Structure 1
Amino acid sequence: MLSFGLFGDHVLLLEIVDHEGNFKEITKATDPELFYAILGGSPGNLGVLTHFTIEVHRDSDYQGSRGLKALYWYDPTTLKRLLDSLVDMSDDENFPRNYDLCISVLSSSFKLLDLWPELDGKMREEHLEIYGKDGIPLWPRTIVVYAQWVPFDKNDVCDMAWFDRFRKDSISINGVQQKPMSELTGGRTYLTKSSTLGKDGWASWVTQSIDAIIKPEANRYWLSAQLQCVGGKHSKFVTNADNGTSYSWRDSTLVCTLDCFHEFAAKVRAEGWEKVNDLAGIGPNCKFSKQDRRVLWGSYGSFDLGESWSSYYEDWAKYERLQKARKAADPDGIYTPNPFCVKLST
């Protein structure tokens, strides 16, 4: 996200079927309000999207790009060390956009080979104990790190020491690899604009929270945690704010997804864990964000968007602008699948 921003930032043209059954091509120039509303505004109720055209980026423009994909057996000390590196990036508004870092934490039995098929050979050689009698791997709890560097100028130089901190104690197949850029970019979600995560002790707090739900084996809970730096003066996530899209919270510094999937009988404890995260992480004196910031694709809580709009949009003026765009695009409310959509203006 630091290097290139959001996928929607690169959309040039949208092809839709409108509420009268007409096929339309929407661009920032031909219909700026509808273009704005579709890209980040209201989930799925402005028309039927059939095709879209995106800006093409060429590998030849980013020669020398490097990436590291590292796997760790889960350990809270290791997780805390990795999160400290993420916090260092997030709290530094001048951190260069060349670097991107994403940390994921996965419960045991996650089908890791679906994401990382080339891992199978190395694991069979060095960790045969994780394979059952049928040859199917029984994965323990793991941490997965994706780190990458992209040159944007001929004078950009990669700091290999930055990669070295993620190679320590990892199970990495090929180390840091030079690859085409196109090969490197292949719940419950919170955002923050905090630049004091280190001072506030967020890394320790979130490590303890993750450990509480992932530590017991065979506990009927499956954690999905993903943490990624998005902010800073040079981040394209930030600087693309006025590009004609309506994605919210562009001044954020870090995005954090903490989801706990569970068996039915374990529902009460899972929901209790999520509630503790909400109360301790979000609020004026809390560890992660002083403001409740959510994204439409990671929504939770109330699914009546008319009631919870302030968690998804910066201000009422933006929500009202989206209401007007919806009224123009769908005056009869044909595209209203559920209450989680921008309400028609009255």
Structure 2
Amino acid sequence: MDVPPPPQGFQGRNIRRGIDEGYDGAIYQYAYSSYRDEELIQPRAVIYPTDDSDVFKAIDYATEYKLGIAIRTGGHSFCGSSSTNGYNLQLDLSQTYTDFTWDNADHTQVTLGVSITLSKLQSKLRRKKRFIPTGQCSYVNLGGHLQTGGYGQLTRSFGLLADYVQKIRIITANPPEARWIDRNVAEDKELFRAILGGSPGNFGVVTDVTLKVLKDEDHPLSRGFRCLFPYKEETLKKLLDVLVAQDDDDDTPGDYDFIISLLSKREEEEDRPAAVIVIYAQWANLKGSGQGYKSTFFDKIREAGGGREHMLPFHDILLDDEQMAMSELCSHWVFDMVREYQLPYFKRLYLSNSRSTDLKEKDWSIWAAKRVQAVEGNIKDGLYIAGQFQYCGGNQSRLRVKDRDNLTSLSWRDSNFGSTMDVFYDYPGDPKQRKAFRSKPESKESRDALAKVKKAAKEWVEQNDKEGVDEQRFTKQDRRMMWGSHDLDLVAARQFYYDHEPHKYNELSALKQQLDPNCIFTANRFSIGPHPPRLIQQKVSLADVIDY
């Protein structure tokens, strides 16, 4: 295939593989560290549209030359689904749609572009004493986050970010037009539902959204708890027991959100313990000023962690059952780091339909703590954990009740728990030894050392899969989420990502074929089917395409 010239009349930047400077920086995203060698993140060009006209030119160009377009806003897809390879293009929207406009005098509705980061969104809302549920990563942009649900700290008390979407502006390929999709318009509901959870970036280019936001004044007594506990296997086990016990009562109040995070020590963090457990917990005061409050839940967390004498600030912030406005609390749930470690990884995220009785019977808290200790007990082996555990169940959970009208296609909303057990890997040894390996990455000794650590990391997650999922220690059903995918082929793994299979998937696939018959927005295999023939060859040799 001859490589066509760049799109005619395109105003934005166009950085081409093998031709233009800055290509390596342009294609970099979260998944690059793990999928670089597979050449999955090797678009023919990265194009940066300045406005709608450039987006339309890119669509026309892809249609003419039968190419695919991968859409990126922040680039935090763990499996690289916001990139592509071969002759396909990456449409980078990271700076394209940044408008932010309040729609009413009460500041309860806002229209904004998908290029805005979560930290900037929360900051703008906080100035008006407003808030909305979002994820915790500061540098995630709104576009992909919204389309995969917007899970985060407030999931149980307020639901998902997607639940607050009122309208969506999207540019489609068939017909080629920009239009607003309204949740309250009957003829729009099918596409509205598909965009929110169906297959991110695969129905068209989402540019802007209108959100309903929440008021601090409706939750005047809200309280927060955030601290760091030094990691010990027994401490983690006790905190997990508190998490599991939330499910003992079907009617545990919806006010309570609780996340346990775990981070191995990074090489540059010489002043903190080898690993830490970070606690994020809140009481949301859902019933307003007349609602009574008891400190029992936060007391249990504090006791499980070893008491106040073991509580330390995390990034200079410590909250010990502090009364605080919800918009302020939300700023403390978003952490200021681009990613956990600048290293390759194996990711694992599962939701669970097990109940507390099931997890106690399986000794899940003991098992999970031991699996963490298998890494943390050997800190020179080159493995680093990023873990997170969350309770999201019960009759009062807004994860369940916020979408009873079926306005999104997000799956597994009847889940009770979430678990992330990721492992990153690096050269083994002490800092001096790792530095020596890095200085000669192509040497046989360095390659063999890294390959051995990679093998150990893969075996660790695969054992977690076998015992936690296959043997049902954590969940009775394999339930995965698009924002935390570790699969590369969505069609092949669809039963893990879509509930009501095959009905939901088939409906979404039919709509995809209607809106995008040429599969313009199918540029990699982590997308809803059917897949075009150009994706059959997943790995593309640079030697085949570099000379144009």
TM-score using structure 1 length? 0.88
Render the CA deviation track for 1:239-287: whole Å, top value 9, x for unaligned: 123340011001100010110011243110000000000000113x420
Query: Residue 298 of structure 1: which of 455, 467, 484 is its match?
Result: 484
* Count of aligned positions: 321
Counterpart position of 1:9: 163
Counterpart residue identity of residue 301, structure 2: F
Structure 1 partner of 2:243: 86
Q: Is the 8 A contact 1:238 1:251 kept in 2?
A: yes
Shift of 1:76: 0.7
- Indicate conservation of the 8 Å contact 2:256/2:284, yes or no: yes
2:327 match: 182
Q: CA deviation at 1:165?
A: 2.1
Question: Of 362, 373, 376, which aligns to 1:200?
Answer: 362
| 1:272 and 2:272 are equivalent in the alignment | no
Q: Tell me the equivalent position of 2:275.
A: 141
Contact 2:525 2:531 in 1 (8 A): no
* Partner of residue 403, structure 2: 241
> Partner of 1:165: helix, strand, or coil?
helix
- Report the equivalent of 1:162: 297
Structure 1 stretches lacking a partner, 5+ long? 113-129, 131-136
Matched residues in 2 for 1:219 and 1:333: separation? 44
Instruction: Give the aligned residue type for 1:287.
Output: R
Superposed CA offset, 1:298-327 (max 9, x none): 1124x2211111001111001011112212
Superposed CA deviations along residues 62-101 of structure 1, whole A, max 9, x for unmatched, are 1010001011111011101100000001343221110000
Question: What's the secondary structure of 1:332's corresponding residue?
Answer: coil
Task: Report if aligned partners of 1:109, 1:138 keep a CA contact under 8 Å in 2.
Answer: no
Aligned to 2:124: none
Q: In structure 1, what is the equivalent of residue 199 of structure 2?
A: 42
Secondary structure (helix, strand or coil) at the match of 1:175 reads: strand
Task: Please say if 1:220 is aligned against 2:369.
Answer: no
For the Cα contact (< 8 Å) 2:519–2:531, is it kept in 1?
no
Indicate yes or no: 2:183 matched with 1:28: yes
Name which of structure 1's ranges 195-204 and 167-176 shifts more when overlaid on structure 2.
167-176
Unaligned runs of 5+ in 2: 1-154, 332-346, 427-449, 533-548
Stretch of structure 1 that moved more, 86-95 or 43-52:
86-95
CA contact (8 A) 1:324 1:345 kept: no
Partner of 2:472: 286
Please say if residues 228 and 312 of structure 2, whose CA atoms lie closer than 8 Å, have aligned partners that are also in contact: yes
SS at the partner of 2:422? strand
8 Å contact kept, 1:80–1:207:
yes
CA distance in 1, matches of 2:319, 2:259: 18
Q: Secondary structure at the match of 2:464?
A: helix
Mapped contact 2:223–2:321 kept (Cα < 8 A): yes
2:434 corresponding residue in structure 1: none
Q: For 1:327 and 1:242, locate their aligned partners in 2 and report how far apart those are by CA, in whole Å.
A: 27
Give the Å deviation of 1:48: 0.7
User: How many Å separate the matches in 1 of 2:374 and 2:410?
Assistant: 33
- DSSP 3-state at the match of 1:43: coil
SS at match of 2:167: strand
Residue identity opposite 1:279 in structure 2 = K
Indicate the residue corresponding to 2:260 in structure 1.
103
Residue 344 of structure 2 corresponds to which residue in structure 1?
Answer: none
Larger radius of gyration between Structure 1 and Structure 2: 2
- What letter corresponds to residue 227 of structure 2 in structure 1? A
Identity %: 36
Checking the alignment, whether the CA contact within 8 Å between 1:17 and 1:48 is kept in structure 2 is yes
SS at match of 1:282: helix
The alpha-carbon deviation at position 111 of structure 1 amounts to: 7.4
Residues 509 and 529, structure 2, Cα contact 8 Å, conserved in 1: yes
Per-residue deviation, 1:52: 1.1
The one of the two structures with greater contact order (alpha-carbon pairs below 8 A, sep at least 6) is: 1
Query: Secondary structure of 2:291's partner?
Result: coil
**Alignment check: 8 A CA contact 2:522 2:531 kept:** no
Structure 1: how far apart are the matches of 2:214 and 2:349?
28
Q: CA deviation at 1:166?
A: 2.2
Aligned match of 2:223 in 52, 61, 66?
A: 66
Q: Note the C-alpha offset of 1:138.
A: 5.3
Q: Which of 507, 513, 518 matches 1:332?
A: 518
User: 1: distance between equivalents of 2:184 and 2:319?
Assistant: 46
1:5-31 C-alpha deviation (Å, 9 max, x unpaired):
111111111111111542111122331
Task: Give the SS at the match of 1:290.
Answer: coil
Q: Could you tell me how far apart the structure 1 residues matched to 2:454 and 2:531 are? A: 38
Partners of 1:2 and 1:230 within 8 A in 2? yes
Check the 8 A contact 1:88/1:198 in 2, yes or no.
Answer: no
| Alignment-mate amino acid for residue 182 of structure 2 | T
Per-residue deviation at 1:345? 9.6
- Shift in Å, 1:139: 5.1
Please report how far the alpha carbon of residue 174 of structure 1 lies from its aligned counterpart in structure 2 after TM superposition: 4.5
Aligned residue type for 1:322: L
Question: Which residue identity is paired with 1:337?
Answer: A
Alignment match, 2:312: 171
Q: Give the SS at the match of 2:274.
A: coil
Distance in 1, matches of 2:247 and 2:456, equals: 31
Q: Provide the residue aligned with 1:117 in structure 2.
A: none
> CA distance change for structure 1 residues 110 and 42 in 2, over 3 Å: closer, same or farther?
farther
Distance 1:35 1:199, change over 3 A: same
How far is the alpha carbon of 1:50 from its aligned partner? 1.0
